[in-house]
Chains A and B, each alone.
Chain A
């Protein structure tokens, strides 16, 4: 019941945004086929949101387990994708295998960065935001050094297809990759206890420990998973852009990712989480950005308008408003329907 309500708010917002867009023009859902692939508003949103969605997934896990956020996700993505480009350049071949090996290296670097953050948080018990401040500060410089102090271009037909369209496939590849990540996460949740363990550690670390869970391992695992998510996002981003710009790659994505987690109805203090909510939250942010652009809000003003929107969204989902709403609902239903008196007592069923 709780979970359904959690997803309800982002879904309603999503629907509202779509309505607002349709007011502007009914062509919102129109889809064109260009060179055998689908383009249009919806595909563009899915395409544009892919990095944010993937990072939000990892951010949700870290938030749940550690009760804090990783603010170095953009930097992790930048470093990992720098490693990707270097490995690919050094292998020097443009085969699928070469790209794949480089991608694995990219993920390994992401995992290492996650291990670093996770160790600081779980073993040395540093506040997540403070611990990740280290990479936040140094990350882009490190990536710049890996790049060899330039912004290398990626002239590779395979990565161009991975960041664009594979001939014969009607859907842009980043959308497919995102869907793939979501599927993998869903499978991991189904076939492991990741969700149960993470939530247990996040809600009550001491109790989790007394039930045989190692909170240190779970927290580190969450950060490592986030690191890999960042690496994948960084990989998608360089494939899309065809070059590695260590200054601007996924700039400010950390704030959007945290926001996506929050819009999804997840407490930033950790504990119980809802992955679907965070994913919907990420798409909501992307749609919001595009809606504002569509309405001609100048790019400079977008952030301000977005901030106002977010204030309303957060206020609407805050417990204060939700409680008031529930009370109102109760009062209305009592007025119109004379509720039958129920038998009293704490035993509701199952006697």
Chain B
């Protein structure tokens, strides 16, 4: 590892109306290192990144890149100054070629030399070992390759500093490997990489150093290899954390005798799930697991009629019902927290209050709106109960952090007092403190008699909370695990052994 300082930020402060988002934060990035920036939601990670790249103007402090003091006014300026950024959402154009994406908006003369461009693109892809062809349409590449092309684009603009903001959140395990290989390669070339992520395991895999922020303040900078994982978590949370272990104790082995709350036979939808049988008992917590694309989300969407239901019979508490619209599912006591919070969950511009009351309001009916006082009371009740951090119930939900947005959506469904609550990835992209809170809440609700289906891509979370796991592969159920079988090993084996219908 080289010792050259690539980036130095000193005494950075930034305040927004009502909040001091960064308070005198220092951050140092050396050339040729991967430096993880960690903290819970609202800790100030993204504010720090945005101050660096010129999205926000800092109130105080100094930034120097390669020893020279800089003050970027926009991401473009930052890019020109050698600071490249790759965001969580891929910001390329899917309908043009890889080469065009690499060079778009960067031509100096008005004519495009296609031959040259494709050749240069080929060289870049080759040198970084990215498995893509210049003339290929971007949309035909996998998400990981697209992410890598975004990195290549940032790198080709001769960046000495590369910021990766949650680059792995939409990638599967194999894709993450490829991305890490690329990161290591860049590191070897002396690029300083700032790695922002929620996945602690990944931090340990690639990072040399870790800087932890909490509540807008610097907690400290640590060498990754000298920092035990548990201590890192407690640094982020600001308290010692045995909470995760306590969850396991909360889970009571449930006798499988409760009445069936929901029962489906041969259920299928136009999202491409093969007809499946499923049931859940009163007070049970179960989960669907499987690799990305195994159909776990599609299955539960079929239960809620989020996609068009194409077949099957459904019984609610033993009574046969036709559920072909979300409103019917809601009225039969089913709540559904969707996987993609931004696209399917929040109504971004509406207030926290409107977002909380929405589902119950729709169930109550178009002609029977809640009075302001009622709505306010509901909102305040759940803001308190779930400890939602918001300036007021009138704040637009989009200005809340991811974890708090998720709590608002959770509040929305809890307010409808469902018998059966479906939670698809409620813990994705949110800080570990909130993750623990949500898992605890799930177990508490179950102990009060609610049935919950809980899905998470982190298998440990499901093993901790579910008493029964349904394993999916290739859009069909390949196994069911309960009791002693609930181990990571068993899940893997079931997936591996599962008979693929396409095989």
Binding site for B on A (CB under 8 A): 1-2, 190-194, 196-197, 199-200, 203-204, 206-214, 271-272, 327, 341-351
A272–B349 CB distance below 8 A? yes
Closest to B23 in A: A344
Q: What is the CB-to-nearest-CB distance from A306 to chain B, in angstroms, rounded to a whole number?
A: 30
Closest to B21 in A: A344
15 residue pairs of the A-B complex, CB under 8 angstroms, read A191-B367, A192-B366, A192-B367, A193-B362, A193-B369, A210-B336, A212-B325, A212-B363, A214-B327, A272-B349, A344-B215, A346-B19, A346-B41, A346-B42, A349-B392
A345–B19 CB distance below 8 A? yes
Check: B15 CB closer than 8 A to any chain A CB. Answer: yes
Q: Please give, as numbers and ranges, the residues of chain A lying within 8 Å of B327 by CB-CB distance.
A: 212, 214
Q: What 5 A-B pairs are tightest by C-beta distance, nearest first?
A: A346-B42, A212-B327, A345-B215, A344-B20, A212-B362
Check: B388 CB closer than 8 A to any chain A CB. Answer: yes
Size of the chain B interface, CB-CB below 8 angstroms: 51
A203–B392 CB distance below 8 A? no
Closest to B404 in A: A346
Q: What is the CB-to-nearest-CB distance from B41 to chain A, in angstroms, rounded to a whole number?
A: 8
Q: What is the CB-to-nearest-CB distance from B201 to chain A, in angstroms, rounded to a whole number?
A: 25
Binding site for A on B (CB under 8 A): 15, 18-21, 23, 41-43, 57, 215-217, 304, 306, 325-327, 330, 336, 338, 343-350, 354, 358-359, 361-363, 365-367, 369, 383-384, 387-392, 394, 396, 401, 412
Does more than half of chain A's interface fall in helix, strand or loop, or is it mixed? loop
Known A-B contacts A203-B347, A210-B338; the reply to A193 vs B361 at CB < 8 A is yes
Question: Considering the chains assembled together, what is the distance between the CA atoms of A213 and B412 in angstroms?
Answer: 14
B369–A349 CB distance below 8 A? no
Question: Considering the chains assembled together, what is the distance between the CA atoms of A342 and B304 in angstroms?
Answer: 45
Q: Please give, as numbers and ranges, the residues of chain A lying within 8 Å of B394 by CB-CB distance.
A: 1
Known A-B contacts A210-B338, A342-B20; the reply to A199 vs B347 at CB < 8 A is yes
Question: Considering the chains assembled together, what is the distance between the CA atoms of A271 and B354 in angstroms?
Answer: 14
Known A-B contacts A210-B326, A212-B326; the reply to A344 vs B19 at CB < 8 A is yes
Q: Please give, as numbers and ranges, the residues of chain A lying within 8 Å of B330 by CB-CB distance.
A: 211-212
Known A-B contacts A2-B396, A207-B346; the reply to A346 vs B326 at CB < 8 A is no
Known A-B contacts A200-B350, A203-B349, A211-B358; the reply to A348 vs B391 at CB < 8 A is yes
Q: What is the CB-to-nearest-CB distance from B496 to chain A, in angstroms, rounded to a whole number?
A: 34
B348–A203 CB distance below 8 A? yes
A210–B344 CB distance below 8 A? yes
Given contacts A193-B369, A207-B344, A346-B19, 6 further A-B contacts (CB under 8 A): A199-B349, A200-B358, A209-B306, A212-B363, A346-B216, A349-B392
Q: Please give, as numbers and ranges, the residues of chain B lying within 8 Å of A347 by CB-CB distance.
A: 389
Question: Considering the chains assembled together, what is the distance between the CA atoms of A115 and B338 in angstroms?
Answer: 32
Q: What is the CB-to-nearest-CB distance from B271 to chain A, in angstroms, rounded to a whole number?
A: 13
